[in-house]
Structure 1
Amino acid sequence: MMSFSMRRSAVIVSVSLLALGGGALSLDRLMAGSDLEPEFTQPVALGTIEETVLANGVLEPARMVNVGSQVSGQLKILHVQLGQSVRQGDIIAEIDSTAQSNALRSARAALANVRAQRAGRLVQLQQARQAYQRQRILINRSVTSTANLETADAAFKALEAEVEALEAQIVQATVEVENAESNLGYTRVQAPMDGVVVAVVAKPGQTLNAVQAVPTIVVLAQLDVMRVKVQISEADIGRVHQGQDLRFTIMGSPDKPIPAKLEQIEPAPSTLATDSSSQAGITGQPASQAVYYNGLFTTPNTDGRLRPSMTAAVTISSGKATDVPLMPWAALTNREADGRYRVKVRSSEGVISERHVRIGLTDRIHAQVLEGISAGEHVVLPADGELSSSADLVSM
């Protein structure tokens, strides 16, 4: 009886050990299988893709003028204030006109003096002409001498020259009067265009000195049309050209993009204008310094929400395609010398093969497939170690 129980226990222990051994073997196989990286795929599907260039810009009025004084003097009256709208020809400011009024009176007096001298010389010239004609008559009758004729002729021609000189002085004095009248008119500063006063630089009572430079009194701007100056990096300038569609947002309304078109691209960086010479600006720029080219476009500002010096986030559309096969950008691995990429494709039977594909537009999420893969096929997303460098993808 005891021996039967012992034999039964031995059998149970043996079966348990076999079961444990089989379980351990399955776990090892499972652990061994866990080392295999799972494969993730994504289908190639038809869709719309847009390739863009991102840049920052600054808003400024499409037209802005510094209104200053062309004459020196004390600013007596300022007729405008900050934010006021003005029309072309409106009086902006008045400058003390005492010096200009006196200069005009002096110029007019000088002109009158020269005209009086000319009138006196004309009377003398008439007398000299008559004397000369008399001597010619007398010399023909042999009543007078040749010396008297020559003397009368010389006096006549001298007075004739003096009259011509006085006529030239009259022209010069007339110009002086016109200049004095203009200077007197400059004491009443007028608005050169319609606009809004965006800055008041001078104050009443301030002395303005216009000898070396034109002092600014106010700054006028037309705010109904704004100009945006966009800084485009040298890495993106090759994908940007005049006439491209774009959109921009401001910080206060990031969810309301404003459409526009790129109107102009400046041919050289704006830093060249600040250098002492163009050659120094080209050869003397450090290699590590970023280079930006200004793109320009205008946009209406009928509601007035766009203001000078605002920052604009600009998105330039460098290309757009609709209903084209799109594959995930992350599936692009090594780039070949001919510009194509090697991509792994899994068939419906689960077989993985390698293809060479050529891509077009990309938004860094998807890429347009030009050749190599058709819509409906599944591409394999590579592991981290197989991803191509971002520099290769950006340089497309």
Structure 2
Amino acid sequence: MWYKNKRFLTIAGIVVALLVVLAIWLVFFNKPKPPELVTQAAAIGNVEKTVLATGTLVPFKQVSVGAQVSGQLTKLAVALGDTVHTGDLIAEIDSKTQTNSLQTAEAEVANIQAQRASAQATLAEANSNFARQQTLYKADAGSKADYDTAVATLKSAQGSLAALDAQIKSAQVSVNTANVNLGYTRIVAPIDGTVIAIVTKEGQTVNANQSAPTIVGLGQLDKMTIKAEVSEADVANIKPGMEVYFTTLGDPDKKYYATLRSIEPAPTTFDPDTTTSSSAAAIYYYALFDIDNPDGILRTNMTAQVYIILQSAKNVLTIPSAALGHQDKDGNYIVMVANPKEKSRPPEPRKVKIGVNDGTNVQVLSGIKSGEQVVVAQATAGDSASSASAGGRRGMGGPGGPPGGL
């Protein structure tokens, strides 16, 4: 039995030794690894806080050229894309009706003028008779009745002539109106510009009694206006005079810079005749600005991606906005700064004063130097990828961090 006890003691000793070794390893050699940090160096860059909007390009000045008289469009003198000058012929409408109206009005004037000539002769005769009866009456050679009749006849002749003069003026107005209507059958360009739309084709009949039908649309394309739709959440932050730039879908790398001209006071869908509104509909306001277009690259109804600059800082020290922690009562933010040479050391908290924050990067006014590594996320050893992704979204400040900008 003694050899069995000896064997048992040997096994027990080995187990105890293994436990001692395990304990030593756990205490001295199995220290937990520090959490993996995602860092980024503070660097010189630009920061812009902007309002993003979608815009449409329209000519700075555009006119719908319409018809003021009814009739068939007998001639269309322009084509789409033609350049015209003020007074150039655009189209002609069949003028038979207007010509007939003018001739009728002129005939009426001639008729009244003939009546006036007759009335003038009658007046002259009445004047002679009045003078004769007046002489006889004063010499007691004529009767009072004949004198009174002569006076009445004279006044009647004078009144008839005055009435005909008034009729001539009225008839002349009709002639002038008929002349104007005849002129309306020749539609000319009211401005210099380019034909950007042809609404009525040659041979069509237009009816100006129902509405003013549009023949063509003219636009001056050497200068364009951008109508940017700004949401009601952002419109309070913008004002005329702000710098703005935009890109087009055809050339997204080219930026066109301008100055905000105005913000329209009513929403884009405003209808003064409608008293009800839908609370579910999004509300937008047009922000307007202009851009020169001497080479004609910008075209009517192009879509523009518009950036209205609220704040900007160029060539300044920047760090990612995700690095910002909580804000203290003095307005400073806590930022964790890592030491790349001593990765085992925990990151150092710094008080940082910031300037412009565009939601992605932030301007650093004090507290950090260029090249220092700031912590933007913290990952666990077991799930570094997912934690780094989440940290990049949340930043080091958690729920209390700064908003993502506009």
* Residue identity in the other structure for 2:21: A
**Post-superposition CA distance 1:90-144 (Å, at most 9, x none):** 2222222111111111111001111111111111112112222222222211122
* Residue identity in the other structure for 2:403: L
Alignment of 1:216-295 (within 5 A): 216-272=214-270, 274-277=271-274, 280=275, 284-295=276-287
Aligned to 2:356: 361
- Pair 1:299 & 2:291 matched: yes
Aligned to 1:22: 24
Aligned to 2:303: 311
In terms of mean alpha carbon deviation, does 253-262 or 125-134 score higher?
125-134
**Post-superposition CA distance 1:28-85 (Å, at most 9, x none):** x43xx35x64556667666543222111100111222222221111221222222222
- State how far apart, in whole Å, the 1-side matches of 2:187 and 2:261 are: 34
Aligned to 1:374: 367
Q: Is the 1:244–1:261 contact (alpha carbons within 8 Å) kept by the matching residues of 2?
A: yes
- The partner residue of 2:131 within 123, 130, 133 is 133
Q: CA deviation at 1:340?
A: 3.3
- State how far apart, in whole Å, the 1-side matches of 2:171 and 2:238 are: 59
Partner SS, residue 403 of structure 2: helix
Tell me: CA distance 1:126–1:217, structure 2 relative to 1, closer, same or farther (3 Å): same
Using structure 1 for the length normalisation, give the TM-score: 0.83
Q: Is the 2:358–2:405 contact (alpha carbons within 8 Å) kept by the matching residues of 1?
A: no
The alignment of Structure 1 onto Structure 2 pairs a total of residues equal to: 379
* Residue identity in the other structure for 1:163: L
Tell me: CA distance 1:339–1:120, structure 2 relative to 1, closer, same or farther (3 Å): farther
Tell me: CA distance 1:271–1:261, structure 2 relative to 1, closer, same or farther (3 Å): same
Q: CA deviation at 1:388?
A: 3.2
- State how far apart, in whole Å, the 1-side matches of 2:239 and 2:84 are: 37
Aligned to 1:105: 103
In terms of mean alpha carbon deviation, does 343-352 or 62-71 score higher?
343-352
- State how far apart, in whole Å, the 2-side matches of 1:292 and 1:350 are: 49
Tell me: CA distance 1:256–1:354, structure 2 relative to 1, closer, same or farther (3 Å): closer
CA RMSD of aligned residues (A): 3.4
Tell me: CA distance 1:325–1:88, structure 2 relative to 1, closer, same or farther (3 Å): same
- State how far apart, in whole Å, the 2-side matches of 1:295 and 1:161 are: 65
Tell me: CA distance 1:226–1:353, structure 2 relative to 1, closer, same or farther (3 Å): closer
Tell me: CA distance 1:250–1:41, structure 2 relative to 1, closer, same or farther (3 Å): closer
Aligned to 1:80: 78
- State how far apart, in whole Å, the 2-side matches of 1:108 and 1:339 are: 88
Q: Is the 1:332–1:342 contact (alpha carbons within 8 Å) kept by the matching residues of 2?
A: yes
Q: Is the 1:247–1:258 contact (alpha carbons within 8 Å) kept by the matching residues of 2?
A: yes
- The partner residue of 2:334 within 343, 349, 368 is 343
**Post-superposition CA distance 1:273-311 (Å, at most 9, x none):** x2414xx2xxx3333432211111121222222111110
In terms of mean alpha carbon deviation, does 139-148 or 304-313 score higher?
139-148
Q: Is the 1:139–1:146 contact (alpha carbons within 8 Å) kept by the matching residues of 2?
A: yes
Tell me: CA distance 1:360–1:233, structure 2 relative to 1, closer, same or farther (3 Å): farther
Q: Is the 2:83–2:194 contact (alpha carbons within 8 Å) kept by the matching residues of 1?
A: yes
Aligned to 1:329: 321
- State how far apart, in whole Å, the 2-side matches of 1:267 and 1:368 are: 34
Q: Is the 1:47–1:326 contact (alpha carbons within 8 Å) kept by the matching residues of 2?
A: yes
Q: CA deviation at 1:16?
A: 5.6
Q: CA deviation at 1:24?
A: 4.5
Q: Is the 1:48–1:324 contact (alpha carbons within 8 Å) kept by the matching residues of 2?
A: yes
Partner SS, residue 239 of structure 1: coil
Q: CA deviation at 1:17?
A: 5.6
* Residue identity in the other structure for 2:367: S
Tell me: CA distance 1:203–1:41, structure 2 relative to 1, closer, same or farther (3 Å): closer
Using structure 2 for the length normalisation, give the TM-score: 0.81
Partner SS, residue 282 of structure 2: coil
In terms of mean alpha carbon deviation, does 83-92 or 222-231 score higher?
83-92
**Post-superposition CA distance 1:131-171 (Å, at most 9, x none):** 22222222211122222222211111121112111111111
- State how far apart, in whole Å, the 2-side matches of 1:339 and 1:17 are: 55
Q: CA deviation at 1:205?
A: 2.1
Q: Is the 1:339–1:358 contact (alpha carbons within 8 Å) kept by the matching residues of 2?
A: no
Tell me: CA distance 1:335–1:170, structure 2 relative to 1, closer, same or farther (3 Å): farther
Q: CA deviation at 1:326?
A: 4.0
In terms of mean alpha carbon deviation, does 175-184 or 142-151 score higher?
142-151
* Residue identity in the other structure for 2:398: L
* Residue identity in the other structure for 1:154: A
Identity of aligned residues (%): 40
Tell me: CA distance 1:47–1:254, structure 2 relative to 1, closer, same or farther (3 Å): closer
- The partner residue of 2:69 within 65, 71, 78 is 71
* Residue identity in the other structure for 1:301: N
- State how far apart, in whole Å, the 2-side matches of 1:83 and 1:347 are: 63
- State how far apart, in whole Å, the 2-side matches of 1:156 and 1:308 are: 72
